[in-house]
Chains A and B, each alone.
Chain A
Amino acid sequence: MLKQIEGSLGIAEAVALCRPGAICAYPISPQTHIVENLGKMVKTGQLQDCEFLNVESEFSAMSVSIGASAGGVRAYTATASQGLLFMTEGIYNAAGLGLPIVMTVASRAIGAPINIWNDHSDSLSQRDSGWLQLFCESNQDALDTHIMAFKIAEEVGLPVMVCMDGFVLTHAFERLDLPSQEQVDQFLPAYEPREFLDPKEPISMGAMVGPEAFTELRILQQRKMLKAIPIIERVTKEYREITGHHSGGLLDCYNCENADVKLIIMGSTVGTAKDAVDELKAQGINAGVISLKAFRPFPYDEIRAAIGDTKNVVIVERSFSYGARGILHPEVSRAMRGKDTNIYTAVCGLGGRAILGTTIKGIVKHCLDGKFCDELTWFDVDSKVINSYLKDAEGITLPEGPLPESVLLDTLQKVRA
């Protein structure tokens, strides 16, 4: 059913269609509207056989979800940023216990300095938590991905984080096509937990495992992650067949045939980039967009196939790794091992700075003009702002325009000497 609604409400409706048994809420922007809507649905009775808990922290939100999931019902919660970090211990725990919890991360920057706006530093900080991490490029994609996430989580036996850009998607009011309850029920059968606490068959979950079996346990956990790749593909296929929605998947290519440069992007920037690429095409510039949906597990083979023989690839990232470089870069490099593809990282859109069509076009042109001299380049940098500080503090001035990391390194000459 078509509706013109806020993204958050769309997610809430989608989650409700999945018949969860427990929903936990702790308010942190920008995910609040999702749980607000779910709370209302439980209260009005729209969502039956489900309890909604207002908890005192994200740590408890995750913990209650762990308990509910271990108790044998579908558990859902949502978080972002500081909240995600506050529940980190529980996040790792849920994965280790193999509990198929689904959680929305309305991606947002991490403080200090406190910043409520979108980037990907929160979600990506959980890279090694053992959760599946699925990114969404639009609200329709996010809505559909949530429904698929329950099925994937339950089949794989691991929790799934659905990552959607905070505010940009969560607060956007858009046309959304909600599948019917019948369609969802057909797609997602009633929950049958793999294991749960039941007085009829008592088990002890969460044992202490020492060196004698820890490695093996981790190998099996990794195997589950790897198994998730074909499962995501299959589940996506099933879902698309039932709904006709072209959502989910491991990745999605746009305008990639014969592209001279391919951008790898996660999240809502993909839509902006598609428009930009279309505009470039009108100018005779051939750029493609690879929308990366599955960050964990990482689809190495699919990325390699998607890039193909294209010589230039730019990863557009809304985060990076301090003291290192882009977070996706090593993964893409691994995927392309043995090929002479030029892989660059463009970092932009941190802490809510808008990524505009012009940003994307600039990156494409920068690449095709051969201006990428380093692995990582910062785009949309306001050199006035940075220089106003650096000039006084260290007598250094940075140039205007895209900032390659080598420029930053050059400013350290004095320190080296």
Chain B
Amino acid sequence: MLQIRLHGRGGQGVVTAAEMLSLSAFLEGHFAQAFPSFGSERTGAPVVAYARIDDKEIRTHEPILEPNAVVVQDKTLLGAVDVFSGISPDGYAIINSAESAEVVVPELVKKLPAGHVLTVPATDFAMQKIGRPLPGAPMLAALAAATNVFALESVQKSFQTRYPGKVGDANAETAALAYEYIKNLMNGGNNA
């Protein structure tokens, strides 16, 4: 079972991202689950959402304390919240940043296997294609690229299902940018 924790701020689509993550997995025939850290969310407040992916029925409803992957949609949370708490030793961390992981989270880069800590300029991509700072789709695409648990197409399809029309398409394009960005990064390319 893959357990993913998503961090962000209210208004950035963190909960939607978790749901789209689960939908992407569902579309590929997996069992998946997504749920927010429940609360009376207000714009700008730190928000956590969770997702699980498995090949059998997911029964548990406990929050994820030991994630296999952490998605940080807002870099400013790094100093405020212990976003990587409980992350498994072979886990993944995707951080929304134009800077390299070594710059942003040098400690974590050392702790986790090589290539498991990645940054992606998701907000930049979003601004580029959607025109609003909604980094959900590119972040998920980055996660897909990093883990290969689900495909880019699933991410794109999930957003297009949720937001039929222009918005979904823009999200899909953004996702593609991020996916390519990470693949390129992992292949040793230098997009920075």
Binding site for B on A (CB under 8 A): 2, 4, 6, 29-30, 116-118, 138, 165-169, 171-175, 268-272, 274-275, 352, 354-357
**Nearest 9 CB-CB pairs, A to B?**
A271-B59, A4-B26, A167-B38, A173-B34, A172-B35, A173-B19, A272-B60, A356-B62, A268-B61
Q: Can you list 15 A-B contacts (CB < 8 A)?
A: A29-B40, A166-B38, A167-B36, A168-B35, A171-B35, A173-B19, A173-B22, A173-B23, A173-B35, A174-B32, A175-B32, A272-B60, A274-B60, A355-B62, A356-B62
Binding site for A on B (CB under 8 A): 18-19, 22-23, 26-27, 31-36, 38-40, 58-63, 65
Which of A6, A116, A169 contacts B40, CB < 8 Å?
A116
Which residues of the partner chain A approach B58 to less than 8 Å between Cβ atoms? 174, 271
Q: Which residue of A lies closest to B50 (CB)?
A: A172
Which residues of the partner chain B approach A30 to less than 8 Å between Cβ atoms? 38
Contact, CB under 8 Å: B26 / A169: no
Contact, CB under 8 Å: A4 / B38: no
Q: Which residue of A lies closest to B158 (CB)?
A: A4
Q: Which residue of B lies closest to A3 (CB)?
A: B26
Contact, CB under 8 Å: A275 / B59: yes
Which of A138, A168, A173, A270 contacts B18, CB < 8 Å?
A173
Please measure, in the bound complex, the distance between the C-alpha atom of A169 and the C-alpha atom of B59, giving whole angstroms: 11
- The answer to whether A272 and B35 touch (CB under 8 A), given A29-B40, A173-B22, is no
Q: Which residue of B lies closest to A270 (CB)?
A: B59
Please measure, in the bound complex, the distance between the C-alpha atom of A356 and the C-alpha atom of B61, giving whole angstroms: 8
Which of A6, A116, A169 contacts B39, CB < 8 Å?
A116
Please measure, in the bound complex, the distance between the C-alpha atom of A269 and the C-alpha atom of B35, giving whole angstroms: 15
Extra contacts besides A168-B38, A173-B32, A356-B62 (7): CB < 8 Å: A4-B27, A117-B38, A167-B38, A171-B35, A175-B31, A271-B58, A357-B62
Which of B39, B61, B63 contacts A271, CB < 8 Å?
B61
Which residues of the partner chain A approach B35 to less than 8 Å between Cβ atoms? 167-168, 171-173
Please measure, in the bound complex, the distance between the C-alpha atom of A272 and the C-alpha atom of B33, giving whole angstroms: 13
Please measure, in the bound complex, the distance between the C-alpha atom of A117 and the C-alpha atom of B22, giving whole angstroms: 23
Which residues of the partner chain A approach B40 to less than 8 Å between Cβ atoms? 29, 116
Please measure, in the bound complex, the distance between the C-alpha atom of A388 and the C-alpha atom of B63, giving whole angstroms: 27
Contact, CB under 8 Å: A357 / B61: no
Which residues of the partner chain B approach A171 to less than 8 Å between Cβ atoms? 35-36, 38
Contact, CB under 8 Å: B61 / A269: yes
Which residues of the partner chain A approach B39 to less than 8 Å between Cβ atoms? 116-117
Contact, CB under 8 Å: A172 / B34: yes
Least CB distance, B175 to chain A, in whole angstroms: 18
Contact, CB under 8 Å: A272 / B62: yes
Least CB distance, A102 to chain B, in whole angstroms: 24
Q: Which residue of A lies closest to B58 (CB)?
A: A174
Please measure, in the bound complex, the distance between the C-alpha atom of A160 and the C-alpha atom of B25, giving whole angstroms: 35
Which of B19, B27, B38, B59 contacts A272, CB < 8 Å?
B59
Most chain B CB within a 10 A radius of its CB, from A117, A173, A175, A269: A173
Least CB distance, A379 to chain B, in whole angstroms: 14
Which of A174, A275, A354 contacts B63, CB < 8 Å?
A354
Q: Which residue of B lies closest to A168 (CB)?
A: B61
Q: Which residue of B lies closest to A166 (CB)?
A: B38
Q: Which residue of B lies closest to A7 (CB)?
A: B35
- The answer to whether A169 and B61 touch (CB under 8 A), given A116-B38, A116-B40, A174-B33, is yes
Please measure, in the bound complex, the distance between the C-alpha atom of A308 and the C-alpha atom of B159, giving whole angstroms: 50
Least CB distance, A271 to chain B, in whole angstroms: 3
Least CB distance, A359 to chain B, in whole angstroms: 8
- The answer to whether A274 and B59 touch (CB under 8 A), given A29-B40, A116-B38, A171-B38, is yes
Which residues of the partner chain B approach A169 to less than 8 Å between Cβ atoms? 61
Least CB distance, B16 to chain A, in whole angstroms: 10
Which residues of the partner chain A approach B19 to less than 8 Å between Cβ atoms? 6, 173
Q: Which residue of B lies closest to A138 (CB)?
A: B59
Please measure, in the bound complex, the distance between the C-alpha atom of A173 and the C-alpha atom of B52, giving whole angstroms: 10
Which residues of the partner chain A approach B62 to less than 8 Å between Cβ atoms? 272, 354-357
Which residues of the partner chain A approach B65 to less than 8 Å between Cβ atoms? 356
Most chain B CB within a 10 A radius of its CB, from A4, A30, A168, A174: A4
Which residues of the partner chain A approach B31 to less than 8 Å between Cβ atoms? 175
